Amino acid sequence: MQIYLDAEKCQGHNRCYALAPELFDVDDYGQAVLILDGDVPAELRDKARLAASNCPEYAITITQES
Ligand code: SF4
């Protein structure tokens, strides 16, 4: 599973960080940044899906679902 964060869509609600701090951090401007290089380990896939489905800006995309 790959996760992608579109920084131009992100509005900094920080829901992703609250739901999955193993995957996201917040930068100095309050915007989300991915901690990982995009490759989500198996044990964090549920959290990745949760964060993506809770992002109100649709800024988080998951690909190569398996
Ligand atoms: S939930 Fe979406 S809009 Fe909010 S900080 Fe995370 S990526 Fe950005």
Give the chain's domains with CATH numbers: 2-61 (3.30.70.20)
Q: Could you report the per-residue pLDDT of 18-42, keeping only the tens digit for each?
A: 999 999 999 999 999 999 988 999 9
Q: What ligand 1 atom has the least distance to the C-alpha of 6?
A: 7
Please determine, for residue 65, whether its predicted confidence score (pLDDT) is greater than 80.
no
Which pLDDT score, from 0 to 100, does residue 66 have?
A: 58
* 9/20 Cα distance (integer angstroms): 18
pTM: 0.92
Q: For residue 58, report the distance from its CA to the centre of ligand 1, in Å.
A: 8
